[in-house]
Structure 1
Amino acid sequence: MSTIGMRKTALGAIGLAVTATLTLSGCKNGNEEVAPPAAPSAPSSSSASSGGYADPSQSAQPSTPASPSDPAGYGDAPAGGAGAGGTAKPGQTFKIGETANVPFSYGSTKGTIALTVTAIEQGNPADLDSLKLGDQVKGKVPYYIRYTVKNTGSTDLAYSTVGHMKGLLGDGTEAQGVSIIGKFEKCPNESLPKGFTNGKTATACAIALAPSAQTKVGSAEYWGDPYNNLSNGKGLTWK
């Protein structure tokens, strides 16, 4: 019988109810995703699901060896389709709805994905009430960064999580994020499902907070590996 997977995050608190923590998502040592274990263990009665999956028959895929044509070891490049124009470069900017071909890494699993920010939607401050953050979010307005993930490589990316998406305010500064454990229907962000092979597509969402109703979250930045390991710290931006 399959077990229920749990997304791990260094800032989260585990409980039966939905819990949330304010984050600054650009901090490399504060919001990094933890690699999944080689073989998922059975959950305790007090664990909560973030909507992910786990299967005791599944384990992390071995790393793809580096080669002269693939120095980063990210596996096969896509043969065509979205993002087929080459790997997105650090600092590259896209329009909302445009697709970036991105090398992807989650633990020992490596592959390539086509990443597309499809919308940045303004929410209602009342949406945050269920997260019980109280005065920490008083006066702040949530924005929902919605994006799609398509597997364009040869590796099965099942049970991986494609996070590291943050919002940027109008002046280019980083918006505060919210890290959630549990299900938040306004902005679901689940692990990739079983059998997430080439051509499969999934949707995801990230929360960004504007400090007031007069300030907007106008763009989104992906800062996952390898972009978060660069000295200049430049990710991919959609606006």
Structure 2
Amino acid sequence: MKRRALWTAAVGMLALAGCADSGPSLKFGEKATVAGDRSGSVGVTVVRVEKGSHADLSLLQDASKYAGKTPYYVRFTLTKTAEGNDNDETSHFEVWSDGKRLTELIVLPSMEATGDPTEPLTTGHFDKCVGADHTTFKEAPTGRSVEGCTVFLAPDDAKAPSTVTWTRRSETLATWK
């Protein structure tokens, strides 16, 4: 039984070691070209990370949920470097501060009734940070870039994020510091 527990611990340690940084290590503003999930490739550039304010979050529904949290905006560019990488839904950014991963905040557009029969709905956006448009990227020719932003939340007492990774499943494809 002890041998099995040690073996399980050893396998767990190796699995964690395998999750360490892989892919290129870059500075903010540098582009990584990574293979797509199914085919093709994409250029990913983390342009910068900006600190937001509590006032930014006050615009959201149930803003009290975010008390004690500071938003950080990851500004990025995706460049279509080869055809075929339009459905990569498994890659995403992760942001790290003091060795801890921050929580991504996904802000969906709001739909509100206008009362005008010619345009019955209006769409509201979180203007501080607008994500990359998937359709625009999918339809873009090779070489075209799409800008985007994603929001991460950190406790107010945390240091500013120092590392951003582009990750697919548990594999780090690129790291910006």
TM-score by length of 1: 0.52
| Aligned counterpart for 1:202 among listed residues 139, 146, 157 | 146
| Alignment pair present for 1:103 and 2:47 | no
| Aligned counterpart for 1:191 among listed residues 134, 144, 160 | 134
What letter matches 1:186 in structure 2?
K
Task: Name the residue aligned to 1:180.
Answer: 107
| Aligned counterpart for 1:94 among listed residues 17, 20, 26 | 26
| Aligned counterpart for 2:52 among listed residues 106, 123, 137 | 123
Residue 112 (structure 1) shift = 0.5
Q: In the alignment, is the contact (CA less than 8 A) between 2:41 and 2:82 conserved in 1?
A: yes
CA–CA distance in 1 between the matches of 2:155 and 2:88? 31
What letter matches 2:134 in structure 1?
S
Q: In the alignment, is the contact (CA less than 8 A) between 1:96 and 1:119 conserved in 2?
A: yes
CA–CA distance in 1 between the matches of 2:130 and 2:155? 22
Residue 128 (structure 1) shift = 1.1
CA–CA distance in 2 between the matches of 1:155 and 1:142? 33
What letter matches 1:184 in structure 2?
F
Unaligned runs of 5+ in 2: 1-20, 110-124
| Alignment pair present for 1:237 and 2:148 | no
CA–CA distance in 2 between the matches of 1:187 and 1:96? 18
What letter matches 1:181 in structure 2?
L
- Residues 235 and 198 of structure 1, relative CA distance in 2, 3 Å threshold: closer
Task: Name the residue aligned to 1:6.
Answer: none
The Cα RMSD (Å) is: 2.4
CA–CA distance in 1 between the matches of 2:69 and 2:63? 11
Residue 173 (structure 1) shift = 1.2
Q: In the alignment, is the contact (CA less than 8 A) between 1:155 and 1:197 conserved in 2?
A: no
Task: Name the residue aligned to 2:63.
Answer: 134
Q: In the alignment, is the contact (CA less than 8 A) between 1:164 and 1:222 conserved in 2?
A: yes
Identity among equivalent positions (%) equals: 27
Structure with the greater relative contact order (CA < 8 A, sep ≥ 6): 1 or 2? 2
TM-score by length of 2: 0.69
**Which structure has the greater CA radius of gyration?**
2
Q: Which residues of 2 match residues 1-239 of structure 1 at below 5 A?
A: 90-105=22-37, 110-155=39-84, 157=86, 164-169=92-97, 171-182=98-109, 183-189=125-131, 190-193=133-136, 195-224=139-168, 228-229=169-170, 233-239=171-177
Of Structure 1 and Structure 2, which has the larger fraction of its residues in strand? 2
CA–CA distance in 2 between the matches of 1:116 and 1:150? 8
Q: In the alignment, is the contact (CA less than 8 A) between 2:36 and 2:88 conserved in 1?
A: no
What letter matches 1:180 in structure 2?
V
Of Structure 1 and Structure 2, which has the larger fraction of its residues in helix? 2
Number of residues paired by the alignment?
A: 140
- Residues 236 and 179 of structure 1, relative CA distance in 2, 3 Å threshold: same
- Residues 176 and 204 of structure 1, relative CA distance in 2, 3 Å threshold: same
Unaligned runs of 5+ in 1: 1-88
